[in-house]
Amino acid sequence: MHEFAICQNIVAAAEVEYARVSPPPRRLLRLRVVAGGLHQIVPEYLTQAYVVLTSDSPLAGSALELAILPVKAQCRRCAWTGQIELPIFQCGACDSFEVDVIQGKELRLESLEVDTP
């Protein structure tokens, strides 16, 4: 369950950003994360890890929102660009395996929604 390790980093980043909010918020309502499809995150596992990791923190009780970006590639042979299906990295036009992943590796904390005084 690699989601737990990923979530540890998400929570650490969220705690830093939460502490930077001025004036200090009453509480965190929602945390939005964007992840590329190559991470193969199971949303339910990430949510469970988030609940456990935030239970004794200022983030406790907040909701985790996850947006998963599809994996996209560009073919070096014919320049086709489009979504690919894992685990096969193959051009959708010429069937070449000479493709570069151009989307799907992302993992970022996109936003925090806070309750302010």
Q: Does the global pTM surpass 0.75?
A: yes
CB 25 within 8 A of CB 116: yes
- Return the pLDDT at 66: 98
Q: What is the 3-state secondary structure (H, E, C) of the chain?
A: CCHHHHHHHHHHHHHHHHHHCCCCCCEEEEEEEEEEHHHCCCHHHHHHHHHHHHCCCCCCCCEEEEEEECCEEEECCCCCEEECCCCCCCCCCCCCCCEEEEECCCEEEEEEEEECC
The structural architecture, per CATH, of the domain 3-70+103-115 is 2-Layer Sandwich (3.30)
Q: pLDDT 10s per residue in the chain (117 long)? A: 799 999 999 999 999 999 999 999 999 999 999 999 999 999 999 999 999 999 999 999 999 999 999 999 999 999 999 999 888 899 999 999 999 999 999 999 999 999 988
pLDDT for res 116: 87
Task: Specify the pairing of strand 81-83 against strand 72-75.
Answer: antiparallel
**Residue 65 · residue 30 · CB < 8 Å:** yes
The pLDDT score that the predictor gives to residue 86 is 84
Phi-psi region of 46 (alpha: psi -120 to 50; beta: other; left: phi over 0): alpha
The pLDDT value recorded for residue 19 is 95
